[in-house]
Amino acid sequence: MRWLTPVLALTLAACSGSSPPAAPAAPATAPAPAKAATASPAPSKDVAKTFTPPPADSIPDTPFGKMVREGRAIFTDTQTHAKAYVGNGLNCSNCHLDAGRLPNAAPLWAAWGMYPAYRSKNGHVNTFAERLQGCFRYSMNGKAPPPDSEVIVALESYSYWLAQGAPTGVALAGRGYPKQGFKPPQPPDFARGQKVFETSCALCHGKDGQGQKVAGRYVFPPLWGPDSFNWGAGMHQLNNAAAFIKANMPLGRGGMLSDQDAWDVAMFMDAHERPQDPRFNGNVAETRKKYHDSKMSLYGTVVNGHLLGSGPDR
């Protein structure tokens, strides 16, 4: 099966996150400071490489600790504790593994210290609260909690607590998904990806990719369709999905798949329909041009004769 139209020929480049501005150089005439008057040194690269969040059992038994625990509960069981803001079957911890603690699975402790930050996705500087709101709107296919709501405050508290002792403004090792230099030997292929899915993913996520439930609740999340993340979520982009899969999937056996297999199965997953981008303006082509003009997005492209983003969910 061939999926790739000329417009989608992938010349892939790894995406990079926002970086903090470089510190201004000291004046040329400034004398070398005495040791006693030396300002606090910038965090060393060694600190960034070795950061470990505090253990879960060390959350303090205080009013602040109570809010931290609430944030952890929301994060791991969003369906129960933030139901009013969720529109699909996912929990935050489906993409941010081990309750937001696991390196290379977009851990909360590595994200906290990098905000406020400019995001090209919405064209302005975002606070951490706004970043969390975006997760509800896109990854959870729901609606954004108010920035001063208990849900956002609890999630901020949990993130802050996880990041205690971490340097701020430093891209910690394990942040996000490992995309640096991560390119497929060949362009991603739907047919190859389907084979990878059948052998390495279907056991947990189901042959139809719709996840698996126990007692009416997902124990393994749906990867596409009406109960999955929508077309505005970061995971719909091939490089994000491939990097996450390579580092973390199959669950508990991250790194097992080859680079090519990870990209191929990401292609297969992201070439299925899912809920519409909430920024949809009534026209798929125009929405792609405005929000998805990237080789990493399949939205608005034709795969196996289907225009992705046109629905219905399948």
Q: Which of 162, 195, 228 is the last residue of a domain?
A: 162
Q: What pLDDT is stored for residue 3 in this prediction?
A: 41
* Same-domain pairing of 87 and 147: yes
- Whether 1 shows a pLDDT value over 80: the answer reads no
- Domain edge (last residue) among 162, 191, 211: 162
| Residue 188: pLDDT band with limits 50, 70, 90 | very high
Question: Residue 171 in contact with residue 113, Cβ under 8 Å?
Answer: no
Together in a domain, 302 and 192:
yes
Answer with the one of 137, 162, 187 that is the final residue of a domain.
Answer: 162
Over residues 11-26, mean pLDDT: 36
If asked whether residues 116 and 153 sit together in one domain, one would say yes
Do 92 and 146 fall within a single domain?
Answer: yes
In the predicted structure, residue 29 carries a pLDDT above the cut 90: no
- Do 198 and 158 lie in one domain? The reply is no
CA terminus-to-terminus distance, the chain: 19
Q: Assess whether 65 and 158 both reside in one domain.
A: yes
The answer to the question of residue 25 being in a domain is no
| Least confident among 21-35, 78-92, 282-296 | 21-35
Q: Look at residue 7 and tell me whether its pLDDT is greater than 80.
A: no
Supply the pLDDT for residue 314: 52
- pLDDT at position 49, please? 61
Among residues of the chain, what percentage have pLDDT more than 90?
Answer: 82
Whether residue 66 is found in the same domain as residue 141: yes
| pLDDT tens digits along 30-71 | 333 333 333 334 444 444 566 999 999 999 999 999 999 999
Question: Average pLDDT of the chain?
Answer: 87
- Express each pLDDT in 214-254 by its tens digit: 999 999 999 999 999 999 999 999 999 999 999 999 999 99
Task: Examine residue 36 and state whether it is found in any structural domain, yes or no.
Answer: no
What pLDDT score was predicted for residue 178? 94
* 152 within 8 A of 133, measured Cβ to Cβ: yes
Strand partners, 303: 306
Q: Is 10's pLDDT higher than 60?
A: no
* Pairwise pLDDT comparison (200 vs 34), residue with the higher score: 200
Tell me the pTM. 0.84
141 with 224, same domain? no
Check pLDDT > 80 for residue 25.
no
The reply to whether 263 and 289 lie within a common domain is yes
Instruction: Indicate the residue type of 20.
Output: P
Q: Which domain holds residue 151?
A: 56-162
Q: Read off the pLDDT of residues 162-176 as tens digits, 9 standing for 90 and up.
A: 999 999 999 999 999
Tally the domains of the chain. 2
**In this structure, is residue 39 part of a structural domain?**
no
**Contact (Cβ atoms closer than 8 angstroms) between residue 223 and residue 211:** yes
290 and 222 in a common domain: yes
Q: CA 241, CA 114: separation in Å to the nearest integer?
A: 22
Predicted local distance difference test score (pLDDT) of residue 312 = 75
The CATH number assigned to the domain holding 107 equals 1.10.760.10
